[in-house]
């Protein structure tokens, strides 16, 4: 394509994109196949889908601490163990001579429950690590640290989100706490050191804790809130010859406290049990028309639009007025306690079930409407779930136009859960980061609920 035609296409495309800012229901879903309106044409292209195991693990260091376990009827069992340090305030902590422990209590606030809250008990055990954290080590969801077999303490709770007394819906200031009494021998071993010069010296001695869910029938995963004032370890002690009770509070929210989650997924007996190694793929045609997205376990949905290349050959140069990707959500997964991701993004690939990156090493995402520079990473197209939760839709007009111009290859896309926030450095830009919470959804692609790409275009004569 010569430069003059390319400039003409971009000129018309910029006008079309500027005028195509209606709600997704205004253009696309309400149009009928092959409808011809004022020199424009609507077509519907089929989409092939499937499930990819992107990695065997994802970075977990200092992500939201997760503890518990649940069984997903479609994807199997998920279990999360938290490995964590706890910290001292400042330096030069001194307990005094002959200090004796009276009690040591761990309390943990949780800000959310994933799973069937209030339905089953969750038993947690706290173990002392036998090996501490290493600053030269990266910690992923398949990482682990060894710990003592005998627990320092255990507790059984029924997870639920408490409400304010004066509100039926607002739980923002409610306290959702776990309390676990810890072994006095452990407490006395800390007191026997008398003095800790720094957090480093304290961590070298204590090493840290593993908070482990026991095997059982629990169907809950808790999101711990280390920033809460109630997340702490309180050591009550007295000095030799004195009945005065003294207290010291250790906390988890200090900047030099290290922690990570180990997340184990057991997919045995599920439609995706063959996904064992990074890059493994199973087509939706082999799983009853279903593909899956699950945060924390690196399951993504692959999207392939094979007809786009043939479309370009058949119709030649066109202006893409609007292109909308539609991914229906399986009826049975719209409700219930396994919540769907509130946001998804489209990652570009090199046709190898791996996310493509730019020269800076940044993951490439499909950019949103009106952003023709598809090598940018600042304006990702975001798939947001509507109130009725029946489907995900996203406007990818600029991306499809770039495909038709030959500026980007028609490679497969990967759809994954993400946290998309406003950029702190570039006005109007967005930042894509790891979704730390264990959302999942089931994308259906069947004759009655097909995944599809809706295109509304004008042909250049």
Q: pTM to 2 decimals?
A: 0.85
Backbone angles phi, psi at 189, to 5 degrees: -65, -35
Region 371-385 average pLDDT: 80
18 pLDDT more than 70: no
Per-residue pLDDT band for 174 (boundaries 50, 70, 90) equals: low
Domain count, the chain: 2
- Residue 259 forms part of a structural domain: yes
Which of 323, 333, 253 shows the shortest CA–CA distance to 289? Answer: 333
Looking at the chain, the number of H-run helices and the number of E-run strands are 5, 27
Of 239, 266, 293, the one marking the end of a domain is: 266
Say how many C-beta atoms besides its own lie within 10 A of residue 57's C-beta: 17
What angle, 0 to 180 degrees and rounded to 10, lies between the N-to-C axes of helices 397-405 and 307-315? 60
Q: What one-character DSSP code corresponds to residue 368?
A: P
CA distance 291 to 282: 8
Helix, strand, coil share of the chain (percent; to 5): 10, 40, 50
Say how many C-beta atoms besides its own lie within 10 A of residue 8's C-beta: 14
Q: Please tell me whether residues 253 and 117 are part of one structural domain.
A: yes
Q: Please tell me whether residues 209 and 325 are part of one structural domain.
A: no
Q: Please tell me whether residues 285 and 385 are part of one structural domain.
A: yes
Q: Please tell me whether residues 80 and 210 are part of one structural domain.
A: yes
The residues with which 343 forms a beta bridge, in sequence order, are 384
37 pLDDT more than 80: no
Backbone angles phi, psi at 80, to 5 degrees: -125, 130
- In this predicted structure, what is the pLDDT of residue 385? 79
CA distance 242 to 262: 43
Who wins on pLDDT, 371 or 171?
A: 371
376 pLDDT more than 90: no
CA distance 366 to 375: 9
Of 234, 266, 298, the one marking the end of a domain is: 266
274 pLDDT more than 60: yes
- Residue 386 forms part of a structural domain: yes
24 pLDDT more than 60: no
Of 224, 246, 266, the one marking the end of a domain is: 266
350 pLDDT more than 60: yes
State whether residue 31 is helix, strand or coil: coil
Q: Please tell me whether residues 226 and 287 are part of one structural domain.
A: no
- Residue 61 forms part of a structural domain: no
Q: Please tell me whether residues 446 and 357 are part of one structural domain.
A: yes
Q: For 120-169, write each residue's pLDDT tens digit.
A: 889 999 999 999 999 999 999 999 999 999 999 999 998 887 655 554 54
Which of 44, 45, 49, 25 shows the shortest CA–CA distance to 443? Answer: 49
Residue 105 CA from chain centroid, whole number: 31
- In this predicted structure, what is the pLDDT of residue 27? 37
4 pLDDT more than 60: no
Q: For 198-238, write each residue's pLDDT tens digit.
A: 999 999 999 999 999 988 767 889 999 999 999 999 999 99
- Residue 272 forms part of a structural domain: no
Alpha helices in 28-154 (DSSP H): none
Q: For 391-427, write each residue's pLDDT tens digit.
A: 999 999 999 999 988 888 899 999 999 999 888 888 7
Q: Please tell me whether residues 217 and 288 are part of one structural domain.
A: no
Q: Please tell me whether residues 254 and 314 are part of one structural domain.
A: no
Q: For 303-344, write each residue's pLDDT tens digit.
A: 999 998 888 788 877 889 999 999 999 987 766 778 889 999
CA distance 348 to 345: 10
CA distance 224 to 66: 6
Q: Please tell me whether residues 73 and 161 are part of one structural domain.
A: yes
- Residue 223 forms part of a structural domain: yes
**Strand pairing report for 430-434 and 318-328:** unpaired
| Mean pLDDT across the chain | 86
Q: Please tell me whether residues 385 and 449 are part of one structural domain.
A: yes
Q: Please tell me whether residues 338 and 248 are part of one structural domain.
A: no
- Tokens linked to 202: 């304290």
- Residue 60 forms part of a structural domain: no
CA distance 148 to 126: 10
Q: How far is CA 374 from CA 4, 44, 60, 408, in A?
A: 21, 23, 29, 8
Angle among Cα 182, 183, 189 to the nearest 5 degrees reads 115
Q: Please tell me whether residues 362 and 441 are part of one structural domain.
A: yes
- Residue 15 forms part of a structural domain: yes
Per-residue pLDDT band for 61 (boundaries 50, 70, 90) equals: very high
Question: Which structural domain, as residue segments, surrounds residue 20?
Answer: 3-55+277-459
Residue 262's H or E segment, with its range, is strand 259-266
- Residue 364 forms part of a structural domain: yes
Per-residue pLDDT band for 7 (boundaries 50, 70, 90) equals: very low
- Tokens linked to 414: 């990967």
């Amino acid at each position: 394509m010569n430069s003059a035609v390319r400039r003409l296409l971009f000129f018309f495309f910029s006008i079309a994109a500027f005028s195509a800012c209606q709600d997704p229901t205004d253009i696309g879903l309400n149009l009928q196949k092959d409808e011809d309106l004022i020199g424009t044409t609507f077509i519907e292209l089929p989409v092939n889908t499937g499930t990819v195991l992107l990695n065997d693990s994802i970075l977990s260091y200092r992500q939201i601490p997760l503890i518990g376990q649940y069984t997903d009827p479609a994807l199997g069992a998920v279990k999360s163990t938290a490995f964590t340090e706890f910290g001292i305030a400042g330096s030069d902590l001194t307990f005094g001579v002959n200090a004796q422990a009276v009690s040591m209590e761990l309390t943990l606030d949780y800000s959310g429950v994933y799973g069937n809250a209030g339905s089953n008990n969750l038993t947690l055990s706290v173990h002392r690590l036998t090996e501490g954290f290493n600053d030269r080590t990266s910690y992923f969801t398949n990482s682990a640290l060894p710990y003592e077999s005998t627990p320092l303490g255990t507790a059984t709770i029924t997870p639920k989100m408490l409400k304010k007394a004066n509100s039926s819906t607002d739980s923002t200031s409610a306290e959702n706490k776990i309390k676990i009494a810890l072994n006095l021998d452990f407490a006395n071993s800390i007191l026997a050191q008398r003095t800790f010069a720094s957090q480093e010296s304290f961590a070298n001695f204590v090493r840290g804790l593993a908070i482990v869910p026991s095997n059982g029938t629990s169907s809950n995963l808790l999101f711990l809130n280390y920033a809460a004032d109630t997340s702490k370890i309180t050591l009550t002690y007295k000095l030799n010859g004195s009945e005065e009770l003294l207290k010291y509070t250790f906390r988890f929210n200090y900047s030099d406290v290290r922690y990570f989650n180990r997340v184990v997924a057991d997919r045995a007996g599920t439609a995706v049990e063959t996904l064992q190694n990074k890059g493994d793929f199973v087509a939706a045609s082999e799983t009853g028309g279903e593909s899956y997205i699950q945060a924390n376990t690196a399951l993504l949905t692959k999207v392939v639009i094979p007809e786009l290349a043939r479309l370009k050959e058949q119709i030649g140069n066109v202006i893409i007025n609007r292109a909308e990707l539609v991914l229906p959500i399986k009826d049975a997964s719209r409700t219930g306690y396994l919540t769907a991701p509130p946001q998804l993004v489209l990652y570009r690939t090199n046709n190898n079930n791996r996310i493509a990156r730019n020269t800076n090493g940044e993951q490439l995402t499909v950019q949103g409407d009106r952003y023709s520079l598809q090598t940018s990473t600042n304006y990702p197209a975001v798939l947001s779930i509507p109130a009725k939760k029946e489907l995900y839709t996203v406007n990818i007009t600029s991306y499809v136009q770039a495909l038709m111009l030959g500026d980007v290859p028609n490679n497969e896309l990967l759809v994954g859960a993400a946290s998309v926030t406003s950029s702190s450095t570039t006005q109007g830009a967005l930042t894509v980061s790891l979704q730390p919470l264990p959302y999942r959804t089931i994308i259906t692609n069947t004759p009655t609920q097909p995944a599809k790409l809706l295109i509304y275009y004008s042909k250049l004569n």
